[in-house]
Structure 1
Amino acid sequence: MDDIRTAINAGDREALAAIKIPASYRGVVVRREDEGMFDGVAHRDKDPRQSMHVQEVPTPEVGPGEALIAVMASAVNYNTVWTSIFEPVSTFRFLEKYGKLSELTKRHDLPYHVIGSDAAGVVLAVGAGVTKWKVGDEVVAHCLNVELEEPQGHDDTMLDPQQRIWGFETNFGGLAELALVKANQLMPKPDHLTWEEAASPGLVNSTAYRQLVSKNGADMKQGDVVLIWGASGGLGSYATQMALNGGAIPICVVSSEDKADICRKMGAEHIIDRRDFQFWKDENTQDEREWRRFGAKIRELTGGEDPDIVFEHPGRETFGASVYVAKRGGTIVTCASTSGYWHTYDNRYLWMSLKRIVGSHFANYREAWEANRLVALGRIHPTLSSVYPLEQAGQAAYEVHRNQHQGKVGVLCLATEEGQGVRNPEMRAKHLTEINRFRGQ
């Protein structure tokens, strides 16, 4: 690994191509034997630090259409948390199902799961049929894994029956020194960013792009009022930037003054403190009076307008309010459901006001590419707040689980320290304030 790291830091493609692929590497794993370790433990008290381990694992064979990348940095997403606490199901069920698909996919069904759905690094090897990418290319990986052997995926790859999220529903993910991806997961690394900065947008930036901007999501237009839950978080921080970049008017819902300050630094003017509203009277009863009060607050900020789009991802806690406050004919676009999957709402406010609920999940390759292009152009910026070494990935996931973070939490893999990997310092200098605005939060 030292030779690989040295060749990458020197930008020496020939030296990198001459290095023999290591027989094993270090990765962050959960273990099948630990599936029941949190039985009877409350959701909030399940601790990723107990289930996530760094261990040496065999390097997988590179199959047709695949690429092996040396991972310089990765990042933690909420699916990392779900994997680590075995909710809503153990991800070993996903690996078992994928392993039955073909002889090639059997490799994924193992007693350990190398996790992680973000990565920035360098191509080490490519499989048969790969022509776009070469050894030494600096890349980021999006997390859409598809087979594309069925017709359903050829208009929108997210509709492929064999669509999976890499590092969550497949093995050999990005929280590791090496990672195995489909070659069509790769995109050019933005050359003005460090490895850890480049690794952090992937999943959430692409998800926000499809959910908010794409015709497959809310199809946002200039002037739209967009209500964004968790507007300073890993997903919401990209939605906030996209709303501002696209000429929309974000209404940022946050849960602390620090988070409100981050939104202001991004350029948002309208902020609502989530703590001022209690949408549930008890575990089973929502409070419509709070929905009304929330809607009144939005109209106060916008000069009387309701949201054209509600950017939903908390789920159970907020969904009733989201449906209520969306404007007549408006759109509630939803993913994730981090507070719970069972959504209840008053359908009168949906059907009689001709509103739409749109489900959105990650992004197709085109959408991910366009989202990454915005980062490369300096129109959208990383929201990296803190960085951990690979050995402390469990702590990083713990902070995301407990909502103790802002933006994204990065993890160094082969990179030995922060700040490496910048190839375009002139462009970086132009955007340094925006790149760093989440740091230290």
Structure 2
Amino acid sequence: MQKILDAVLAGELGEVGHLPVPEFYRGVVLHAEETTMFEGLAGRDKDPRRSLHLEEVATPEPAAGEVLVAVMASGINHNTVWSSIFEPVPTFGFLSRYGRTSPQAARHDLPYHVLGSDLSGVVLRCGEGVASWRPGDEVVAHCLSVELDHPDGHADTMLDPQQRIWGFETNFGGLAELALVKANQLMPKPRHLTWEEAAASGLVNSTAYRQLVSPAGARLKQGDTVLIWGATGGLGSYAVQLALNGGATPVCVVSSAHKAQVCRRMGAELVIDRSAEGYRFWKDEQTQDPREWRRFGARIRELTGGDDPDIVFEHPGRETFGASVYVARRGGTIVTCASTSGYEHAYDNRYLWMNLKRIIGTHFANYREAWEANRLIAKGHVHPTLSQVVPLEGTAQAVHDVHHNLHQGKVGVLCLAPGEGLGVTDPELRARHEPAINRFRAQPAGT
């Protein structure tokens, strides 16, 4: 592994294809035998530091259409949180079902699961039939793993019955020194970014792009008012940038004064600090409070000069969904994914049906959408929202912190990269955007 790293750091990328690939590599894994370790505990009391292990695993051989990547950096996403606390179900069921689909997929059905749905790195080996990539290419990966054996996937790969999220519903993910991906997951690494910055955007930027911009999502247009929950989080921070780029007006909902400042640094002017203003959308575990919906809607109109949101960018789920349906304008759209506060949504359907509102469900992005989202990053129109970086050994603690919302933007993980700041090959473009690239790094964690 050291020879591979030395070649990458020396810029001798043409050599990596000739170097031997180690038989084992380090990865962040779950153990199938531990899936019951948190039984009886509430979700917030389940500790990823107990379930996540950094250990050596066997290196997989890339099969037809696959690529083995030396992972320089990765990132923490909420799906790793869900995996680590075995909610809503242990991910080993995903691996077992996938393994039954083909001999090639059977390699994923193991008693351990290497997690991670982001990476930046260098191609090491290409399987049979891979023509678009070669060893030495600097790449980032999106997390859609798809088989495309069914006609439903050919108009939109997200509709393929065998669509899966790599590193969550498949094995050999990116929180590791090596990763196995399909060739059609790869995209060019933005040349002006470091390894850790480039790894930060794949999942969340692509998800936000489909959710907000794509014809499969909310179809953002100029002049729209967009309510964005968790506007400095992984998803929300990209949604804010996409809204501003598209000529829309974001209304950012955050949970602290520091996070409000970050929104303003991104160029957003309308910000609601829900903690300071004391919104409580649930009276108790079973009862929502419509008076709080109305108070929240009045605050939005106060900020916008009387406009209700054309689009509500939803991802918290249970905690906020009733309010989201209520505050969307007549004929407006609530576009939803993730449900980080709970999957069972409740809302008053009168406000939906009688006001001709729409709820659209979205999930990650297809290759074209992910490519377009990455292209915006590469051109410097959208910037990574990296707030902190940890070594691979610190992954479990970082997942714990994301589980408890002690972060903002994205938390990066150094895998093979020996330190931060490496991998930039277009310093001129970087110099033009460096303040924007670093704006999330200026805030203390947990604020």
- Return the TM-score normalized by structure 1: 0.99
| Correspondence 1:18-57 to 2 at 5 A | 18-57=18-57
State the Cα distance separating 1:274 from its structure 2 match: 1.6
| Correspondence 1:19-418 to 2 at 5 A | 19-275=19-275, 276-418=278-420
- Seq. identity, %: 72
Following the alignment from structure 1 to structure 2, what is the Cα–Cα distance between the partners of residues 71 and 162?
25
Cα deviation digits, residues 306-334 of structure 1 (max 9, x gap): 00000000000000000000000000000
Following the alignment from structure 1 to structure 2, what is the Cα–Cα distance between the partners of residues 30 and 76?
15
1:285 is paired with a residue of what secondary structure? coil
State the Cα distance separating 1:337 from its structure 2 match: 0.3
2:355 is paired with a residue of what secondary structure? coil
What is the one-letter code of the residue matched to 2:267?
G
What is the one-letter code of the residue matched to 1:9?
L
Structure 2 match to 1:437: 439
Structure 1 match to 2:428: 426
What is the one-letter code of the residue matched to 1:145?
S
Following the alignment from structure 2 to structure 1, what is the Cα–Cα distance between the partners of residues 15 and 367?
31
Cα deviation digits, residues 268-296 of structure 1 (max 9, x gap): 00011122211111111111111111110
What is the one-letter code of the residue matched to 1:410?
G
What is the one-letter code of the residue matched to 1:13?
L
What is the one-letter code of the residue matched to 1:332?
I
Following the alignment from structure 1 to structure 2, what is the Cα–Cα distance between the partners of residues 429 and 251?
29
Q: 1:212, 1:311 within 8 Å by CA — same for their partners in 2?
A: yes
Following the alignment from structure 1 to structure 2, what is the Cα–Cα distance between the partners of residues 440 and 30?
33
Following the alignment from structure 1 to structure 2, what is the Cα–Cα distance between the partners of residues 42 and 117?
25
What RMSD over aligned residues (CA atoms) do the two structures have, in Å?
A: 0.6
What is the one-letter code of the residue matched to 1:221?
K
Residue 12 of structure 2 corresponds to residue 7 of structure 1: no
2:250 is paired with a residue of what secondary structure? strand
State the Cα distance separating 1:81 from its structure 2 match: 0.2
Cα deviation digits, residues 115-159 of structure 1 (max 9, x gap): 000000000000111100010000000000000000000000000
Cα deviation digits, residues 188-210 of structure 1 (max 9, x gap): 00000000000000000000000
What is the one-letter code of the residue matched to 1:358?
I
2:299 is paired with a residue of what secondary structure? helix
1:97 is paired with a residue of what secondary structure? helix
State the Cα distance separating 1:11 from its structure 2 match: 1.9
In the TM superposition, structure 1's runs of 4+ consecutive aligned residues that sit over 3 Å from their partners are none
Residue-pair matches, total: 441
Following the alignment from structure 1 to structure 2, what is the Cα–Cα distance between the partners of residues 329 and 255?
28
Following the alignment from structure 1 to structure 2, what is the Cα–Cα distance between the partners of residues 17 and 312?
44
Q: 2:15, 2:136 within 8 Å by CA — same for their partners in 1?
A: no
Following the alignment from structure 1 to structure 2, what is the Cα–Cα distance between the partners of residues 261 and 119?
29
State the Cα distance separating 1:13 from its structure 2 match: 2.9
State the Cα distance separating 1:165 from its structure 2 match: 0.1
Q: 1:26, 1:56 within 8 Å by CA — same for their partners in 2?
A: yes
What is the one-letter code of the residue matched to 2:400?
Y
What is the one-letter code of the residue matched to 2:30?
V
Q: Which runs of 5+ in 2 are unaligned?
A: none
State the Cα distance separating 1:86 from its structure 2 match: 0.4
Q: Residues 440 and 395 of structure 1: is their aligned pair in 2 closer, same or farther, counting only changes over 3 Å?
A: farther
1:121 is paired with a residue of what secondary structure? strand
1:431 is paired with a residue of what secondary structure? helix
What is the one-letter code of the residue matched to 2:294?
R
Following the alignment from structure 2 to structure 1, what is the Cα–Cα distance between the partners of residues 269 and 194?
30
- Return the TM-score normalized by structure 2: 0.98
1:103 is paired with a residue of what secondary structure? coil
Q: Which runs of 5+ in 1 are unaligned?
A: none
Cα deviation digits, residues 49-93 of structure 1 (max 9, x gap): 111111000001110000000000000000000000000000000
2:259 is paired with a residue of what secondary structure? helix
Cα deviation digits, residues 326-361 of structure 1 (max 9, x gap): 000000000000000000100000000000000000
What is the one-letter code of the residue matched to 2:179?
A
Following the alignment from structure 2 to structure 1, what is the Cα–Cα distance between the partners of residues 353 and 11?
58
What is the one-letter code of the residue matched to 2:56?
E
State the Cα distance separating 1:14 from its structure 2 match: 3.2
State the Cα distance separating 1:440 from its structure 2 match: 4.2
Q: 1:386, 1:440 within 8 Å by CA — same for their partners in 2?
A: no
What is the one-letter code of the residue matched to 2:416?
L
State the Cα distance separating 1:369 from its structure 2 match: 0.2
Following the alignment from structure 1 to structure 2, what is the Cα–Cα distance between the partners of residues 103 and 61?
13
Cα deviation digits, residues 237-267 of structure 1 (max 9, x gap): 0000100111100000000001101001000
What is the one-letter code of the residue matched to 1:320?
G
What is the one-letter code of the residue matched to 2:426?
N
2:234 is paired with a residue of what secondary structure? coil
Following the alignment from structure 1 to structure 2, what is the Cα–Cα distance between the partners of residues 374 and 274?
30
Following the alignment from structure 1 to structure 2, what is the Cα–Cα distance between the partners of residues 282 and 86?
26
State the Cα distance separating 1:224 from its structure 2 match: 0.2
What is the one-letter code of the residue matched to 2:34?
D
What is the one-letter code of the residue matched to 1:170?
T
Following the alignment from structure 2 to structure 1, what is the Cα–Cα distance between the partners of residues 210 and 15?
39
More displaced stretch, 140-149 vs 32-41: 32-41
Following the alignment from structure 2 to structure 1, what is the Cα–Cα distance between the partners of residues 326 and 442?
36
1:55 is paired with a residue of what secondary structure? strand
What is the one-letter code of the residue matched to 1:186?
L
State the Cα distance separating 1:16 from its structure 2 match: 1.0
